[in-house]
Structure 1
Amino acid sequence: MWRNRNIWIILVGEMVAGLGLWMGIIGNLEFMQEKVPSDFVKALIMSVGLLAGLVAGPLAGKVIDQSRKKTVLLISGFGRMVSVVFMLIALETGSIWWMVAFMISIQLAATFYFPALQATIPLVVNEDDLLTMNGLHMNVATISRIIGTALAGVMLVYWSLVTLYWASIIAYGALLLFTMMLQINEGDSIKDREAKVKRPAKSGGFMEVFPVLKLYPAVTMTLVMTLIPLLFIGSFNLIVINISEIQDSTAMKGLIYTFEGVAFMVGAFAVKYIAKKWKTTTILFVFAMFVAVAEFMLFFVESQVITLASFTVLGFALGCFFPTAMVIFQKQMPKAYHGRFFSFRNMLERVMFQVVLLTAGAFLDIIGLQLMVVIFGVISLGLTALFFIQMKRRNIILEQPTAESI
């Protein structure tokens, strides 16, 4: 595995791009804190970009499956570079509307980039190494988040916000160079591979994914299960801002990202060994419950120790949950449908992000953080129990034999 140059290119590229991404995110939060007093309005601004990605999702899936993955990665990567220009204009003019343009453009680029990357990984990694690769990829993304947020904090002390976005442009440029070095063997043409899978004659885009999902109930159940952590993840940045205000500590932002990120890396590393002793079903449902536990712990948000413990629990749970779920998607979903499936998954997540963002923004303004996390915890726990019951009733087995690409 370690002799595969594509793996190193993907991991190094993810590290560099992640640094740029998180510097930009910290810059966005700082800009909104200065310009936007209401949590709900902050949520509205963040949701605009997600909505744009939601609209483009069906087209992205079709394009990814009908095009070379490397081409899609290069074009969308270049789009991320261009989008940062809008944020530079926003800083120069002090206009929120230019920030909205930035949010829309960078989400559009991400709508094509991330599903294409997820569809590329199974093409460059052996199936037996997918769990390890997913864990490594998520760990690298987490390391870049920790370093990126720390660097952003230091840069804001000594330099202006503009510096963060210039650093983002440089990072995205470096990502383009790494992407150019990728060597992806996509095998048979898309049409040849699709012809091997039975599908409705008069369908297109996502409509072709739904009949295939019916043939793979484990994929469908896992897809639904991934919605549980999104209650916490979707409101993550708003919660971090709120905690720093409650505790009157700007340092807590960096500490929260660090504790959650380190715990995520530990979880993504540990899950490879946990999977040898626990069934896939056990891993998904146990760590889904851990997410609910982390939400309940934030009721004691005045305590810095409990707050950091909460994000540690969350990070470890997500580090075990997502690599496991991703392996199910990559192994059991036919490769001919990976582009549309991962685009559909991203679109589904964007719908949830929209709902969670707006709901969290309203809750934070109306009832406050403590009651909100209790409500989220009850919902997460309830959904976990509901999905477990449904899985047993329908006799869905997540450990079913790996589905070959048909």
Structure 2
Amino acid sequence: MWRNRNVWIILSGEMIAGLGLWTGIIGNLEFLQEKIPSDFVKALILSVGLLAGIVAGPLAGRVIDQSKKKTILLYSGAGRMISVVFMLIAIATGSIWWMIVFMVTIQVSATFYFPALQSTIPLVVKDDDLLTMNGLHMNVATIARVAGTALAGIMLVYWSLASLYWISMLAYGGLLIFTMMIRIDEEQGREAKVKSVGSKGGFMEVFPVLKEYPAVGMTLIMTMVPLLFLGSFNLLVINISEIQDSASIKGLIYSFEGIAFMIGALVVKVISKKWKTTTILFFFASMLAVAEFMLYFAQNTVITLAAFALLGFTLGCFFPTAMVIFQKQMPKEYHGRFFSFRNMLERIMFQVVLLTAGAFLDIIGLQSMMIIFGMISLSLTALFFFQMKQRNISLEQPIKAAAESI
């Protein structure tokens, strides 16, 4: 795997693009905090982009399965560059409406980009290397997040808000250059399966496949549990910053969560040799609830950072494991539509959680909200576990599939 040039290109591109993405996200939060006092209104504005992604999801799935992955990555990367222009206009005019245009265009671009990338990874590495590659890719994304948020914090002290978005535009330009260097032969060998018959339909063709592969369906449902925390993440960071009356806590939260995520993504390779896939997913889903309960003490800096560190480690173990199930057990000719469908579900959940969290923060406050979120996470994890046992679903890789990958 280490001699595969595509692996290095994908990881290098992710590092550069991630720096741009996270400097932009910190810029978004800063802009909203300056312009909008209500948490619920902030959530409404953030949700507009997610809604655009949901609407574009079905089209993205069909296009990705019918087209070359590299072409999709290039066009969507160019779209991300163009979207930054709208945010620069928003800053120059002080207009929330231009920010909304920015969020819509960048989310639509992401709706095409990320499923295409997730569909590309199984084409450039062997099945046995998928867990390692997923962990590495997520680690690189996390390093970029930690570095990007730290860089944004420093830049906000010395430079203008607009400078963050110029960095974003340069980073997305760098991503385009790296994407041009990827070599994927999608017309021959194992890659040709992606172009096989049945790749011209929409999401409706994914549902019979999910019934045929119940482990994929159950894992897909399980990945919804972390979204209670992730969907409200940015609002939580803003709120904790206000509770502790500290601007620097934002960068510390992202750093602690990011570093812990990297450790988790490395450790899960060792854990997977000793624990079953089912144990990993359900144990770390339970740990998410523990992290949520810990934020009842959000006024305490140490406990707050410990909660986000636990969150990061948990997600670092949870998501690479879930991604391997998707990439190995879902037939490759359905990858584009499946990953688009998954992204659409996540965006719907993000939308619901974001609006709910915004309302809760205004009405009952952060501490009570996190107790409610923790109870929901524990209840959902228990419900999914009993359903899996009742339906006799195994999340372990089938022997047949394991033999084929050797």
Conserved 8 A contact 1:123-1:184: yes
TM-score normalised per structure 1 = 0.97
Contact 1:80–1:172 under 8 Å retained in 2: yes
By how many angstroms is 1:187 displaced?
3.9
Query: In structure 2, the residue corresponding to 1:248 is in which secondary structure?
Result: coil
Q: 295, 298, 308: which is aligned to 1:298?
A: 295
1:205 has 2:198 as partner = no
- Provide the identity percentage: 77
| Match of residue 168 from structure 1 | 168
Aligned equivalents of 1:192, 1:13: Cα separation in 2: 24
| Conserved? CA contact 1:65–1:190, under 8 Å | no
C-alpha separation in 2, matches of 1:377 and 1:236: 14
| 1:243 partner amino acid | I
Query: Shift in Å at residue 27 of structure 1?
Result: 0.4
* Paired AA for residue 295 in structure 2: L
Q: Deviations over 1:20-65 (max 9, x none)?
A: 0000000000000000000000000000000000000000000000
Q: Does 1:98 align with 2:95?
A: no
What's 1:221 paired with? Answer: 218
Task: Tell me, yes or no, if structure 1 residue 390 matches structure 2 residue 363.
Answer: no
Structure 1 gaps of 5+ residues are none
Q: Distance in 2 between matches of 1:6 and 1:360?
A: 40
Q: Is 2:278 aligned against 1:281?
A: yes
1:194 alignment partner AA = S
CA distance in structure 1 between the partners assigned to 2:193 and 2:298 by the alignment: 54
Residue 45 (str. 1) matches residue 42 (str. 2) = no
**1:56 match:** 56
Separation in structure 1 between the aligned mates of residue 123 and residue 132 of structure 2, nearest angstrom:
15
Maintained 8 Å contact 2:15/2:144: yes
Give the Cα separation in 2 of the matches to 1:73 and 1:364: 37
Q: Which residue is equivalent to 2:26?
A: 26
Deviation per CA, 1:322-365: give whole Å up to 9, x if none. Answer: 00000000000000000000000000000000000000000000
Indicate whether 1:346 and 2:346 are aligned: no
Report whether the alignment pairs 1:4 with 2:1: no
Deviation string 1:99-137 (CA, Å, 9 cap, x unpaired) is: 000000000000000000000000001100000000000
CA contact (8 A) 1:74 1:179 kept: yes
Residue 194 of structure 1 is aligned with which of 171, 193, 196? 196
- AA paired with 2:130? L
Deviation at 1:382, TM superposition (A): 0.1
Match of 1:262 in 2: 259
Equivalences for residues 71-110 of structure 1 within 5 A? 71-110=71-110
Is it true that 1:241 corresponds to 2:238 in the alignment? yes
Instruction: Return the offset for 1:375.
Output: 0.3
The equivalent of 1:319 in structure 2 is 316
User: In the alignment, does 2:250 pair up with 1:253?
Assistant: yes
Distance 1:349 1:153 in 2: 28
State the 1:302 CA deviation: 1.2
CA–CA distance in structure 2, aligned partners of residues 191 and 4 of structure 1? 21
- Aligned partner of 1:374 in structure 2 is 371
- SS state at 2:196 partner: helix
Q: Name the CA distance, whole Å, in 2 between partners of 1:226 and 1:186.
A: 29
The two structures have a TM-score, normalised by structure 2, of 0.97
Give, in whole Å, the separation in 2 of the partners of 1:161 and 1:254: 16
In structure 1, C-alpha distance between the alignment counterparts of 2:224 and 2:50, rounded to whole Å: 16
Cα distance in 2 for residues equivalent to 1:186 and 1:365? 50
Deviations 1:350-388 (A, max 9, x none): 000000000000000000000000000000000000000
User: Which deviates more, 156-165 or 396-405?
Assistant: 396-405
CA distance in 2 between counterparts of 1:376 and 1:387 reads: 16
What RMSD, in angstroms, separates the aligned Cα atoms of the two structures?
1.4
User: Per-residue deviation at 1:194?
Assistant: 3.4
Aligned to 2:66: 66
Task: Give the conservation status (yes or no) of the 8 Å contact 1:66–1:190.
Answer: no
Cα deviation, residue 192, structure 1: 8.0
Contact 1:124/1:185 (<8 A) preserved: no
The CA distance in 2 between the partners of 1:314 and 1:205, in whole Å, is 34
Q: How has the CA–CA distance of structure 1 residues 330 and 192 changed in structure 2, closer, same or farther, with 3 Å as cutoff?
A: closer
Once residues 387 and 186 of structure 1 are traced to their aligned partners in structure 2, the CA distance between those partners, rounded to angstroms, is 37
CA distance in 2, matches of 1:335, 1:387: 26
Gaps in structure 2 of 5+ consecutive residues: none
CA distance in 1 between partners of 2:194 and 2:63 (Å)? 16
Aligned-partner Cα distance in 2 for 1:97–1:386: 42
1:328 aligns to what?
325
Q: In structure 1, give the amino acid aligned to 2:151.
A: L
Shift of the 192–39 alpha-carbon distance from structure 1 to 2, 3 Å rule, reads closer
> 2:322 and 2:390 mapped to 1: Cα distance?
21
Per-residue deviation at 1:186? 1.8
The secondary structure found in structure 1 opposite 2:21 is helix
Match of 2:36 in 1: 36
